Every structure is written in structure tokens, then in C-alpha cells.
Amino acid sequence: MIRRLAIIGIGLIGGSLALALKRAGLTEQVVGAGRGQANLALALANGVIDALAESPEAAAVGADVVVLAVPVGGMPALMARIAPVMHDDMVLTDVGSTKQDVVAAARTALGVRVGQFVPAHPIAGAEASGVAAAHADLFRGKDVILTPLPENPDAAVARVRAMWQGCGARVETMTPLEHDRVFAAVSHLPHLAAFALMDELAGRGNSALYFRHAGSGFRDFTRIAGSHPEMWRDIALANREAVVAELDAYIDRLAHIRDLIATGDGDALMAALSRASQARQQWAQDKLKTPR
Amino acid sequence: MIRRLAIIGIGLIGGSLALALKRAGLTEQVVGAGRGQANLALALANGVIDALAESPEAAAVGADVVVLAVPVGGMPALMARIAPVMHDDMVLTDVGSTKQDVVAAARTALGVRVGQFVPAHPIAGAEASGVAAAHADLFRGKDVILTPLPENPDAAVARVRAMWQGCGARVETMTPLEHDRVFAAVSHLPHLAAFALMDELAGRGNSALYFRHAGSGFRDFTRIAGSHPEMWRDIALANREAVVAELDAYIDRLAHIRDLIATGDGDALMAALSRASQARQQWAQDKLKTPR
């Protein structure tokens, strides 16, 4: 049971966490803080949060658990504001989509209290954002990755694990490095690739002609290009090394396929497309067995 | 009313066309031909077709309308077999995803009868294939693009238009060149880009680690990579010039975004992602008004 839960950033993720924990009866009080007064007012009016603090540090004072649910670019400044009000029994955690940079920020901002910070990443995005899109089932059956620090006491990790399990999520642990490499490939790259296609077409003088004829394949391929630009700018910059490596690998692969088409090498093209198609069908089958 | 309809290739598209026209009462008899004996037997057993011909030309003999519903790479050979059995009142049409190459094949194979060929492209794909996936509603509310030839009599175009409207589709006309350029950008490129990501990840020694953590963004981005490899090889080669141009533009755009990340140019990155996100949200809104 979390007596006083502070959530900084009451958007899709922060708001859904509050709703899920309340419904599960796992928290007595949720105090929120963040930017965007209209969004915060809505969170309070809808009962997503019980109280609105006027600053992140005011929300954190006296809290058992503090969750940082803001774009990863905002973490360093936020941690610096929270550090002075941390008490010995407080656990600090986050929902950032990258982990090495957040861990580095925690080491800088928290000093000897870094062991009280348990890094976490719930794998539950949506192109919608803001508290209006929040719902108590967002994390049900989804993965949450913890990347614990050597300094974390077991009890602190257990507390964050229990919080996410209480939302219906499956909790796994990885190292921050492994986390960042894996998600650069399966999440950050596809997002940037979808953004890139929309940006390319939107910049054309006759973009309306293209968009009018775009169908269901285009719809699904580009869905994640509707995501929050600030969040994805922050992720790309925070996970720069792995993201650039993945973009380079992807550009090379596209250039290879481009050359096969340009030279009319139907056999090699067929082999590449067959491998891809088979892998996609196998992936979908595997996911059906363990839906996330 | 089509007295005798011949469909060559009883897959998702050919099978769904047969089912839709039968349900609408727009055809008396559907004769099918194609490859894949198990698939054809299923089509006959399920009543998708009324009769099975032992060759494309046997199916076409005496037909009012002949629909070529095979991958575009198979069109030239198929047209050469149909040409000798064409009579003056027969209309030939296709469902190919590219049009300039199919028109060129028709000019070569059909000679003076080319005016009887009305090129068409129903915009209704699915990653499923085969007659088992066919259903009478596949074309409802979808677009069908006709790219009529100067040689086409109005009556021939009207006949093909009425056939697709009878399936619930919206029929538009474009030139073959315009068609191929537009669909290279909004369909062929996204398919190849999705194939490329799956191929890239599947080729890694630790691909299972990546695939295990791939979530809903990855799922949607790669859905079309489960498509039929032969069909997409044919499309890429048939529409080579436009597809290579689109791949080049896309690779350039990705490289630009890669450079913004590598150099840490957050402002320019934010501007690009914002343009893309806004364009995607606008596109989705426009589509809601005129769902396809």
C-alpha cells in the first residue's frame, strides 16, 4: 500500500498509473503536479488525482513513492528539484523510455540517495497524450522493464515491482544498456521512420494527392507518427548512440533493397521479402501465444 | 449483368470480387482458373466460383468479362494466352497494383484489341492471401482506380466501373503514370520499408530478444511486412522507376533526421517531428470524414 503517491506529469502514463492504482486499492492518496493548467484541472476534476500541488517538490514532500512521468529531457531538472525533499523511506521511480541517460541524471542529481531511485519503463504507449486519454487498463498485460541499480536495496525494487504488478503489468529486469539497445531497434527506430515518411510527404507541394490515396497499409505504418513530438525528440537525443546505430543499419538495409530493385535482381529481392514476411508471420504467431 | 465472368487467380482479390458480384446479383456464372490446386478446389467447394477451368484461356472462352487477378509479374504471359480467345464483346480488366507496366504488356500482347483492356486497381489489400481470406465486403467503401486507355470505348470503361460500384467501391480515374507515382509513395514504399525492418532484425543473432520486446507500435509499423513476397517483388520491379525515386527520397529524409540526432540539433529535430505529427493527425481527421 502506498500511503501518499506523488506523480509528476499527469499525462497518458501518469494519469493511467493513478487510475490503475486507485482501482486496485493500492494507494490512499495521489498528489499530482506538472505543466499545463487545463490538463491538471481536468485530472483533479475527474478524480484522477486527489490533490494538486503547486510544484513537483511540493507534491513530493512526505510522499512514499514519487513517480516522474515526464518526457526524458525533463528528468535532470526535475530530479534536482526533488532531491532536497527526499526522506529516507521515499522511493523515486520514473517511466522514461530511455534508461542510461535517466540513470546518469539520477547519479548527478541524487548523489548518495541514488539507491532510492528505481528506473522503470512501462511499455504502453499510444499516439494519444494528455490525461483525457488515460485509463485504468492501460498497463494490463503489458510489460514494464525495471533496470535496477547496484545501489538499489531489494525492498525498493520490490516496491516498484509490486506497484506495476498491481496495475496488471508483467515486470522484467534488464540492464540500462541492454534496455536502450533493444528499444532503439523495436520502438525508437520505427517511430522515427514513421515520422520521416509523414514529414517527407507533407513537405510536397501536391501532398493532398498522396494523402487522399493513402490506405490501410499507410494508416498502420504511420500511426505512431501521430505521437508526441517533444517526447520523441527527447528519446532520440537521450538514446543518441543506439538510435543513430539503428538508423544507420536501417538506411543500409533500405539502400540494399533499393539497389536490388534498381538492378532488377528479382531473386535476391524475393529472398529478402520472403525472410521478412516469414519473420513477421512468426512474430505475430508468437505474440498470440503471449499477448502483450 | 455479366453473363459469364472469368477470373484468373482466385486469391483474396479475385475471390472477394466473385463473392461480391454474386451477392449483388450482378453475374450469372463465375468461371475460375489459376495456380494452386488446393486453393482452387476450396474456391469451388465454397461456391466462390461455379466452375473451374483447366487453363486461363479455357476460362476466358465465351466470357463477357475477364479479370486478371494475379501478381503483376504474371500479366504479360497471361495476356498472351488470353489474346487468341478474345471476341469482340469481351472486356478484359485487371487488379494489378501497378499500371504503366500492365498497360505496356497489354499493348504488346493484345495488339489491335488493346481497347478492350480497361486497367484497374482496387485499393484493398490485406496481409492475408488466398481464397480462404476472401469475403464479399472487401471492397465496400474502398477506392478502385481506373486508368483508362485512349483506345477504350466509353462502354468498356462503364462496364468495369459498374462492376466495381456493384461491389460497393468508389471508382476514380487517373493516368497510369500518376497512379504509379502516387502509389509508389503511399503504398509501395511503406511496404518495402516494413519488409526492410523485419529483414534487418530477423537477420540478427539475438533477434529473439528484440522481437520479444516489440510492442504495439512495432506491430502496426510492420503489419504489412507479412504481405505476399512474390506480389511485392513484382510490384517493386514493375514500378521500378517511381519506387527507386521514393526509396531515395525516404533514405535522404532518414539520413537528415539521423544527422539532426547525431549532432544534437534538438530544435530542427523538434520542427521535423512536429510537422510529421501534425500531418498525421490532420490525415487521420480527414480520413474520418471520408472513411475508405
pLDDT given at position B291: 54
pLDDT given at position A127: 56
Contact A273 B232 (CB under 8 A): yes
Give the residue from chain B lying closest to A197, CA to CA. B250
The string of DSSP codes covering B68-125 is E-S-GGGHHHHHHHHGGG--TT-EEEE--S--HHHHHHHHHHHGGGGGGEE-EEE---
pLDDT given at position B220: 95
Which of B171, B186, B228, B237 would best serve as a mutation to test chain A binding (most A beta carbons within 10 A)? Answer: B186
Among A220, A226, A281, whose Cβ lies nearest the Cβ of B224?
Answer: A220
Where chain B has pLDDT below 50, the residues are: none
What distance in Å separates the CA atoms of residue B250 and residue B190, rounded to the nearest whole number? 10
Note the residue count of chain B: 292
Residues of A in contact with B199 (CB under 8 A): 253, 257, 272-273, 275-276, 279
Contact A125 B280 (CB under 8 A): no
Every domain of chain A with CATH number 1.10.3660.10 lies at 178-289
Residues of B in contact with A210 (CB under 8 A): 182, 185-186
Q: What 8-state DSSP symbol labels residue A130?
A: S
Closest to A129 (Cα-Cα) out of A209, A213, A226 = A226
Residues of A in contact with B206 (CB under 8 A): none
Burial class (CB in 10 A: 0-12, 13-18, 19+), B159: middle
Q: Which CATH architecture has domain A2-174?
A: 3-Layer(aba) Sandwich (3.40)
What distance in Å separates the CA atoms of residue B87 and residue B113, rounded to the nearest whole number? 9
pLDDT given at position A287: 85
What distance in Å separates the CA atoms of residue B107 and residue A166, rounded to the nearest whole number? 67
pLDDT given at position B102: 97
Closest to A269 (Cα-Cα) out of B79, B155, B244, B222 = B244
Which of A251, A281, A283 would best serve as a mutation to test chain B binding (most B beta carbons within 10 A)? Answer: A283
Among A218, A232, A250, whose Cβ lies nearest the Cβ of B187?
Answer: A218
Q: Map grid coordinates 506538472 to a residue.
A: A34
Rounded to a whole number of angstroms, the distance from the CA of A200 to the nearest CA of chain B is 7
Closest to A63 (Cα-Cα) out of A83, A38, A92, A26 = A92
Determine how many CB atoms are found less than 10 A away from the CB of residue B143: 18
**Contact yes or no for A160/A42 (Cβ under 8 A):** no
Residue by residue, pLDDT tens for chain A (292 residues) are 899 999 999 999 999 999 999 999 999 999 999 999 999 999 999 999 999 999 999 999 999 999 999 989 999 999 999 999 999 999 999 999 999 999 999 999 999 999 999 999 999 876 567 899 999 999 999 999 999 999 999 999 999 999 999 999 999 999 999 999 999 999 999 999 999 999 999 999 999 999 999 988 999 999 999 999 998 999 999 999 999 999 999 999 999 999 999 999 999 999 999 999 999 999 999 987 765 5
Every domain of chain A with CATH number 3.40.50.720 lies at 2-174
What CATH number labels B178-289?
1.10.3660.10
Contact A215 B283 (CB under 8 A): no
Among A196, A248, A279, whose Cβ lies nearest the Cβ of B198?
Answer: A279
What distance in Å separates the CA atoms of residue B141 and residue B168, rounded to the nearest whole number? 6
What distance in Å separates the CA atoms of residue A41 and residue A72, rounded to the nearest whole number? 23
Q: Map grid coordinates 503547486 to a residue.
A: A54
pLDDT given at position A129: 77
Among A198, A233, A278, whose Cβ lies nearest the Cβ of B270?
Answer: A233
Residues of A in contact with B270 (CB under 8 A): 229-230, 233
pLDDT given at position A285: 94
Contact A269 B219 (CB under 8 A): no
Among B248, B262, B279, whose Cβ lies nearest the Cβ of A198?
Answer: B279
pLDDT given at position B188: 97
Rounded to a whole number of angstroms, the distance from the CA of A89 to the nearest CA of chain B is 32
